[in-house]
Structure 1
Amino acid sequence: MRAVIQRVSEASVHVEGKMVSSINQGLLILIGIEEKDSQEDIDWLSGKISRLRIFADEAGVMNKSILDIDGDAIVVSQFTLHASIKKGNRPSYIKAAKPDIAIPLYESFVQRFELDLGKKIGTGVFGADMKISLLNDGPVTITVDTKNKE
């Protein structure tokens, strides 16, 4: 499972011209799911992101987590995070999980992250053509892959 975590001042997701999620200060999280991903990946990633200290404290040092600031979050499934461009110029997505595997894992991640944050979070619409707007704060962008924990 791969994630791109962006600290944002605001973010929103639109599908077919309608806003489906919107937040102010918090995290926009793009999630890529592989067929090999499991509940263990979900639990580890959710815990890691919820405790990630990338928000400024009173001294301006990145020392606070989304939990500490009571921030909001949007989680969007993005299979292109598993693109391979080793051969040619057209990306291959063979490592990305098919919807029958990816959808339950994505939904499980959202549920687990909501538990870790203690609040409802925003989401995208799986498989939809989404328009995502964000104001990256910092900018701060972190990438995580559960297959590279060590």
Structure 2
Amino acid sequence: MEEQRQKSWFSRNWGWVLGGGCLTLIIIVVLFFGSIIFGVSKMFTSSTPYKYAMEQAFTNEEVIAILGEPIESDGIMQGNISLNGDDGEADFRIPIKGPNGEARIVVVAYKDYGEWVYEKLYVQIKETKEAINLLDKGLEGN
């Protein structure tokens, strides 16, 4: 009689081990990149230039007349913001939408000795490419 050798646990379960390992690795990578995207998004949305730009756009009568109410953020922002103590720079676009259309807020600003100075702050309407200036005449800082 021939004696049959029993396979090792790994030999019998290699598919589950590799499949589970790959799935775990994929989940870890997705969570890692998700946390990076969430962190960057949170950094943008908690910044003074973002809050100021949203406030100016949401209360501007011309923007409200074109987009309708309510106006809300619509998607992923593009651009960058960098802070270094009392100095910094911001150059980004915020997609927004209302019931009547879509637009984006364009923000270009720098922080000098703790104060944000806005070089550009306007809403560009998607359909017409019209630009609505959000900077008060004669007052460009916040």
TM-score, with structure 1 as normaliser: 0.28
Higher relative contact order (CA 8 A, sep 6+): 1
Normalising by structure 2, we get a TM-score of: 0.29
Pick the structure with greater CA Rg.
2
Bigger fraction of residues in helix: 2
More strand, by proportion: 1
